[in-house]
Chains A and B, each alone.
Chain A
Amino acid sequence: MAEPLLRVEKLVRRFGGIVATDNVSLDVSSGELHAIIGPNGAGKTTLISQLTGQLLPHSGTISLAGADITRVPAYRRSALGLARSFQITSLLLDFTALDNVALAAQAHSGHSFYFWSDARNESQLRGAALAALVRVGLGNRADTLVSKLSHGEQRELELAVALATKPQVLLLDEPMAGLGITESARMVKLLQELRREVTIVLVEHDMDAVFALADRITVLVYGRVIASGAPAAIRNNEEVRRAYLGELHAVTRHG
């Protein structure tokens, strides 16, 4: 196989005495859906934050398509093709759904030091934004204020915003968080479609979703990778079972 699209090598991040990311290495190949799972406090969000540039690692490297991006600031990673969704919905609440996505399309089309013409009249931005909204099934909610959207719709909008930056890699931080059963099912279906178009790194608690979607799974426990491989191999991995699957069954049963 060619060089991985996203490569993480020996990443370390400490918070005081706690090592939240402990020598984590992982490869994500182009076209793959790579899930990262682990019990609460395993350091999943810390890892995602380093991938997106919100946190800087203490050591180790992150490279995207062969280029080292370890120290590249967050805002520039988006231009390089790394998009993210937030675990806790993070949108412009006082903007319409369409404006949210149009801003992402605008970010993708170069700098924004244009002071004169009306951005809401730019058909190419609006077109791209509407296409992304339709893609996630929010085509008819374009002119609704985000604060008036349901939680499920906001989760879908997060995806549309990420898609509008035309990413190579989509980092999804618990896209199912807080969704009901039908909404979750819709999200899984949506991700199943999207995975054909873009490489996805998925952090998720919903084990049914993870095992249904992932090509490969990396298991984090206390900041360390304890296993990485195909879903079947992970399911049968002794160490994973011991450290995690007991709880995992509990999660699947109750939650």
Chain B
Amino acid sequence: MKDWLNARNAIVVLVIAGLLLLPLYSSMTGNIFLLTLFTRIVIFAMAAASLNLIMGYGGMMSFGHAAYLGIGGYAVGILAHEGIGSGFIQWPVALIASALFALVIGALSLRTRGVYFIMITLAFAQMAYYVASGLSRYGGDDGLTIYKRSDFGGLINLSSRVQLYYFCLACMFGVIYLIWRIVNSRFGMVVQGLRSNEARMQAIGFPANRYRLVCFVISGTMCGLAGALLANNTDFVSPAVMYWTRSGDLMVMVILGGMGSLFGPVLGAIVYLVLEESLSQVTEYWALIMGPLLLLIVLFGRGGIVGLLGRLRRG
């Protein structure tokens, strides 16, 4: 059954080609909005992919993943505010801060399972949200404007729309490649085994939470990278990126695209954000159309879009 010519792979290849050629199209037609929208989509796709690592492969239903978007963003924003504009400092700080936050949250919340895990991760993310709201020096509720994007010397100019887009795209592919390596490695096998049957994995000699925690930290760090990119893309960071509805958006993207599939979250992010964008132009009650649409996909398309595409050929 090693047949690479199926509907799913064809769509994935088309989408990758489309993403690569998008700036060309945008400059030919002068449609700058499209490029801005897709920069955002690519960043959220990366965040969703990182969530998929713990949710789809690891079976850890984190409902607080947007916290890392905020932490990565605030690391960039606060350092820029304090006059440290170099990306070589901002970005490592963003990644390390996200990793540390994930380490603490993970160590505490991985003691629980199921609904309790969902609630605890949600609670921690909301705590991060309120802490950010209280940072009056850095804009508090109103958020923090970033006047200068991260400076990477002559290496890359993030103020160029096209360069920023390709940089985000490269980061997204990098993250997905990394996830692909991890998932198929010894470590990844253990994490997926734990999703499938924890008692069995303990019995053959794996300390479950140690592996889960490392996976949780990797995922949080990846999402922190997305946060740093998002802050640069919007020139702005506010507590709102950490709000629980944002975490919900990320979860929906993963489920919509297909949990535990490599490119599912990318498809999910594209469909979700494009729908949101286009529906909101038609009517301000766009959520009324979006909601039932999502319900239909979740109810009838088990395995999300990727699952649907997989069945197209067989069925």
Please list the residues of chain A having a beta carbon within 8 angstroms of any beta carbon in chain B. 52, 54, 73-79, 83-84, 86, 90-95, 99, 102-104, 106-108, 112-120, 122, 161, 164-165
Contact = CB atoms under 8 A, between A and B. Distances in A.
Interface of B, secondary structure class, is helix
Given A106-B189, A113-B187, A115-B185, A93 B205 contact: no
B205 A115 contact: no
A115 B214 CA distance: 11
Interface of B: 181-182, 184-190, 192-193, 196-197, 199-208, 211, 214
Given A77-B205, A106-B186, 17 more contacts: A76-B205, A76-B207, A78-B203, A83-B204, A86-B200, A91-B197, A93-B197, A95-B193, A95-B196, A104-B204, A107-B205, A114-B187, A116-B185, A119-B185, A120-B184, A161-B200, A164-B204
A118 B214 CA distance: 18
Nearest to A108: B205
Nearest to A101: B204
B56 to A, nearest CB: 12
Contact of A90 (B200, B205, B206, B214): B200
B197 A103 contact: no
Interface centre among B190, B199, B203, B205 (most CB of A within 10 A): B203
B193 A92 contact: yes
Contact of A112 (B187, B196, B203): B187
Contacts of B193: 92, 95, 103
Contacts of B208: 75
Contacts, number: 93
B190 to A, nearest CB: 5
Contacts of A77: 205
Nearest to A52: B203
Given A75-B205, A76-B205, A92 B185 contact: no
A113 B199 CA distance: 20
Contacts of B207: 73, 75-76
A119 B189 contact: yes
Contact of B182 (A83, A107, A115, A164): A115
